[in-house]
Amino acid sequence: MSKIKSLIKNLRPMGQCAVITGASSGLGMEFARQLAAQGIFLVLTGRNEKALAALAEEIGVSDCVVIPADLSKVRECIDFYGKAKKYKPDILINNAGFGLYGSFTAASLSKELELIDVNIKAMHVLFKLFLRDFVKQDRGYILNVGSIAGFMPGPLMAAYYSSKAYVIRQTQAVYTELRRIKSNVNVSVLCPGPVDTDFNRRAGITGFFKGITAKQCVSCALSEMRKKKLTITPTLKITAIAVMSRFSPVKLTSYCAYLVQKGKQRIEE
């Protein structure tokens, strides 16, 4: 009887299934809304169970499943993968991440290590585990969420910028590996500039530039992902910055990034 129950629990409607990390807020929540509107079954994760439950209620509890996890712990990443794969996903939105403000000598080491755990390690673990399944089934999309920050050094936010460089390079390398084996699986990396979400508040800072909406960013990301674009920059301005950063002297780019970060104000929680 319990076997039948667990079989029923793991059944999902026919069609596509997307796993979304960081679904409890900001971009992840918007990915959930837009993919649900396309009739895609969702596996949602994050730590904030209340926010995830409210999102599931909004989307429809039969159209998604919530599996809470703290992705800063590798064990929880692997357990989450084990539970999520039962739904046979064919899309992974590898989105969970956060920023940290402060000079390298001042920033908290434990917070930086947590950032590396979420932005790099969890991204890496889930990317690899889901990709292995997608390659076996020879279909699927993985969208890793990087940032324009990954194209340059980021004084006063060094760990965050460096973590996003990892996301970009890892995705670009795997993209080529997949093309060489003629796989139908596609990987993309989304590199937004500022987006209006909880990102700045969590990083303890105010924004410097006005952000685009999560809706605008996600609708561009999903449409470019379907076109199998490798590196996705959601606005012309951000595309221009990405191109310029490739050709400018690194000390100049780093100084410009410093000025932007210096212009931000700290906010107390």
Two structure tokens written together for 98: 């956060």
Q: Which of 66, 91, 97, 178 touches ligand NAP by CB under 6 A?
A: 97
Selected range binding ligand NAP among 10-18, 42-50, 133-141, 170-178, rule: CB under 6 A? 42-50
Q: What DSSP string describes 179-212?
A: HHTT-S-EEEEE--S-BSSSHHHHHTB--SSPPB
Q: Which is nearer to ligand NAP, 66 or 178 (CB)?
A: 66
Say which residue the tokens 């670009």 belong to.
172
198 touches ligand NAP (CB under 6 A): yes
Q: Which of 16, 72, 245, 253 binds ligand NAP (CB under 6 A)?
A: 72
Q: Which one of 3-11, 17-25, 124-132, 249-257 is the stretch in contact with ligand NAP (CB under 6 A)? A: 17-25
Instruction: Round to whole Å and give the CA distance between 14 and 67.
Output: 20
Does position 48 bind ligand NAP by CB under 6 A?
A: yes
**Taking each helix axis from N to C terminus, what angle separates 26-37 and 49-59, rounded to the nearest 10 degrees?**
20
The interface with ligand NAP within residues 125-154 (CB under 6 A) comprises 145, 147
Q: Which amino acid, residue 249? A: P
- The count of chain residues that interact with ligand NAP, using the rule CB under 6 A, is 27
Contact between residue 159 and residue 102 where contact means Cβ atoms under 8 Å apart:
no
Judged by CB under 6 A, does residue 98 bind ligand NAP?
yes
Q: Is 81 a catalytic residue?
A: no
3-class DSSP state of 6: helix
d(CA 226, CA 186): 9
Q: Single out the catalytic residue among 81, 141, 160, 175.
A: 160
**Only segment of 8-16, 70-78, 85-93, 102-110 that touches ligand NAP (CB under 6 A):** 70-78
**Structure-derived torsion over alpha carbons of residues 39, 190, 203, 259, reported in degrees to the nearest 10:** -150
Q: Does residue number 70 form part of the binding site for ligand NAP (CB under 6 A)?
A: yes
Does 195 bind ligand NAP (CB under 6 A)? Our answer is yes
Residues designated catalytic: 160
